Amino acid sequence: MDSLKQTKFDPIAIRADFPILTQTIYRDRQLVYFDNGASSQHPQAVIDAMDDCYRRTYANVHRGIHWLSEQASAQFEHARLRIREFINAPHNNEVIFTSGTTASINLVARAWGDANVNQEDEILLTVFEHHSNIVPWQQLAERTGARVRFAGITADGELDLEDVKSQLTERTKIVAFASASNVLGTVVPVAEIVRLAKSVGAMTVVDAAQSVPHDVTDVQAWGADFVAFSGHKMLGPSGIGVLWGRQEMLEKMQPFMGGGSMIDQVTTEGFTWGELPARFEAGTPPIVEAIGLNAAIEYLSSIGMNTIRQHEHELVLAAYEALSKIEGLNVLGPAAEKRSGLISFTVDGISPQDISILLDQKGVGIRAGHHCAMPLHQHFGIKASCRVSFYLYNTLQEVEEFGILLKQVADRLR
């Protein structure tokens, strides 16, 4: 597990580790990247680790009895070990490599949901879920006849715990929720939701894509049954994610993807599946991506997750101050003191897409749209919003300049 490590933190110096951030765009404007909630950038250490594997040690893993395969297999399994430590999981074989958070949640919906959910059951989500934590459960409901329900939020953008309690019944089979909203920045009391779900015997799935990259994660303290997250939001490559599941849960699940690696024996009469984690890793896994994710975790750990969290909090406070000076700007979600490192907002009478386009012409990359959270935007009666999301390489100077540029853009578009 990544401990409470603290180091001297200098985001300006850290930026030098990220080649993509050193470039200029649009008439020599320095690139400002505020779309980290979608995907983060990659330090040279991650690029080098993946490059080195392709150059010196790449081969398929767990299959070849030769030097290259043994080297690649060792690196691949070391990545699994390092991830287990990073999230404080009990066992290496509970760490399943997938292609991302979406694939991880779909794995649970198929391998656990299809076997355990029926038309008498209910699945409880929250209204601020990402589509990847809505659609797989809606598909499960279509297959089984179960009902999907949604817990609401309070006026200040917090998860409505009273509504959660009121919707939990003996029919609730699954409670699936994000540890932090990718739109509102709302930080959810995961352990408390898990405790409430367990009080009615429900299984729990945590979409941790927006929290694992930004704070210390302890899956044992959370107590959930499954936790999903992605590499590309935490300095790692795209195409790789993690499903952590409690061993006793995973051992009872049948694989829903068949092929190589996931089997024990195959005959013309049938097959038997393998042990964990291979059972859920059919085919050639994301070998180089796992090695890159390991390098990303080493990089994050060298700084310290508490340090990163504190830095992002300072950026959010500064952004709130800057945004408060813009007439007609509406921030979605809780107060700065209660949110993760992102802010979504609208400006009265101005299209979020127009704001994003003009900011881009000034070298600032933000997000505009529904952020794969259409039900939440429908809740607010809007179709889209702007989102700025921060990470360890963003600076206070960038935030201050962003505030000035945003005011100029808003004034121009009025």
User: DSSP letters along 16-63, please?
Assistant: TT-GGGG-EETTTEEPEE-BTTT-----HHHHHHHHHIIIII---TTT
Query: How do residues 237-287 score in pLDDT, each as one tens digit?
Result: 999 999 999 999 999 999 989 998 988 899 999 999 899 999 999 999 999
Bigger pLDDT: 65 or 382?
382
User: Is there a single domain that holds both residue 350 and residue 387?
Assistant: yes
- Residue 169 covered by a domain: yes
User: Is there a single domain that holds both residue 198 and residue 154?
Assistant: yes
CA 380/CA 210 separation, integer angstroms = 21
What local confidence, expressed as pLDDT, does residue 264 receive? 85
What local confidence, expressed as pLDDT, does residue 400 receive? 97
Q: Where are the alpha helices (DSSP H) in 159-251?
A: 161-167, 190-199, 219-222, 247-250
pLDDT at 3 over 80: no
Mean pLDDT of 174-179: 98
CA 174/CA 113 separation, integer angstroms = 9
| Contact in structure between 180 and 340 (CB atoms under 8 Å) | yes
Kindly report the average pLDDT of the chain as a whole number. 96
Kindly state the percentage of the chain with pLDDT values over 70: 98
In the block, which residue shows the tokens 């060298």?
302
Q: Any residues with CB less than 8 A from the CB of 408 and at least 6 apart, and which?
A: none
CA 234/CA 37 separation, integer angstroms = 10
User: Is there a single domain that holds both residue 113 and residue 160?
Assistant: yes
User: Is there a single domain that holds both residue 163 and residue 266?
Assistant: yes
What is the pLDDT confidence band of residue 414, given thresholds at 50, 70 and 90?
confident
What local confidence, expressed as pLDDT, does residue 64 receive? 83
In the block, which residue shows the tokens 């310290």?
304
pLDDT at 139 over 90: yes
Query: How do residues 325-379 score in pLDDT, each as one tens digit?
Result: 999 999 999 999 999 999 999 999 999 999 999 999 999 999 999 999 999 999 9
For residue 351, give Cα distances in angstroms to 285, 311, 364. 42, 30, 17
User: Is there a single domain that holds both residue 286 and residue 388?
Assistant: no
Q: What angle do CA 88, 125, 182 make, to 5 degrees?
A: 65
What local confidence, expressed as pLDDT, does residue 180 receive? 98
The boundaries of the domain holding residue 324 are 11-30+304-413
What local confidence, expressed as pLDDT, does residue 27 receive? 80
Phi, psi angles (nearest 5°) of residue 266: -130, 130
User: Is there a single domain that holds both residue 115 and residue 155?
Assistant: yes
CA 116/CA 290 separation, integer angstroms = 31
pLDDT at 1 over 80: no
CATH of the domain at 351: 3.90.1150.10
Q: Is 372 a catalytic residue?
A: yes
Which of these three, 286, 301, 316, is where a domain ends?
Answer: 301
Alpha carbon of residue 374 to chain centroid: 18
User: Is there a single domain that holds both residue 315 and residue 276?
Assistant: no
- Residue 42 covered by a domain: no
In the block, which residue shows the tokens 């003996």?
170
Q: Where are the alpha helices (DSSP H) in 324-373?
A: 352-360
- Residue 389 covered by a domain: yes
The number of residues in the chain equals 414
Q: Six-digit token pair at 284?
A: 């050639």
Radius of gyration over alpha carbons of the chain, in Å?
22
What local confidence, expressed as pLDDT, does residue 28 receive? 86
Q: Six-digit token pair at 319?
A: 């952004």
What local confidence, expressed as pLDDT, does residue 296 receive? 98
Judging by beta carbons within 10 Å of its beta carbon (0-12, 13-18, 19+), is residue 13 exposed, middle or buried? exposed
Q: Which amino acid is at 394?
A: N
Mean pLDDT of 205-233: 98
Which of these three, 278, 301, 324, is where a domain ends?
Answer: 301
What local confidence, expressed as pLDDT, does residue 228 receive? 99
When mean pLDDT is compared across 72-86, 99-113, 262-276, the lowest value belongs to: 262-276
Judging by beta carbons within 10 Å of its beta carbon (0-12, 13-18, 19+), is residue 98 exposed, middle or buried? buried
Element of type H or E holding 214 = none
- Residue 39 covered by a domain: no
Q: Six-digit token pair at 37?
A: 């909630």
What is the pLDDT confidence band of residue 87, given thresholds at 50, 70 and 90?
very high
- Residue 359 covered by a domain: yes
- Tell whether pTM > 0.85: yes
Q: Where are the alpha helices (DSSP H) in 154-252?
A: 161-167, 190-199, 219-222, 247-250
- Residue 269 covered by a domain: yes
User: Is there a single domain that holds both residue 277 and residue 357?
Assistant: no
pLDDT at 42 over 50: yes
- The residue from 38, 372, 382, 396 that is catalytic is 372
What is the pLDDT confidence band of residue 2, given thresholds at 50, 70 and 90?
very low
User: Is there a single domain that holds both residue 371 and residue 239?
Assistant: no
CA 101/CA 144 separation, integer angstroms = 23
Mean pLDDT of 404-412: 97
What is the pLDDT confidence band of residue 143, given thresholds at 50, 70 and 90?
very high
Count of domains observed in the chain:
2
What local confidence, expressed as pLDDT, does residue 121 receive? 98
User: Is there a single domain that holds both residue 161 and residue 229?
Assistant: yes
pLDDT at 318 over 90: yes
Mean pLDDT of 296-314: 98
User: Is there a single domain that holds both residue 374 and residue 229?
Assistant: no
CATH of the domain at 295: 3.40.640.10
Which of these three, 301, 317, 351, is where a domain ends?
Answer: 301
Q: Six-digit token pair at 260?
A: 């190589």
User: Is there a single domain that holds both residue 143 and residue 259?
Assistant: yes
Look at residue 185 and give its three-state secondary structure: coil
- Residue 36 covered by a domain: no
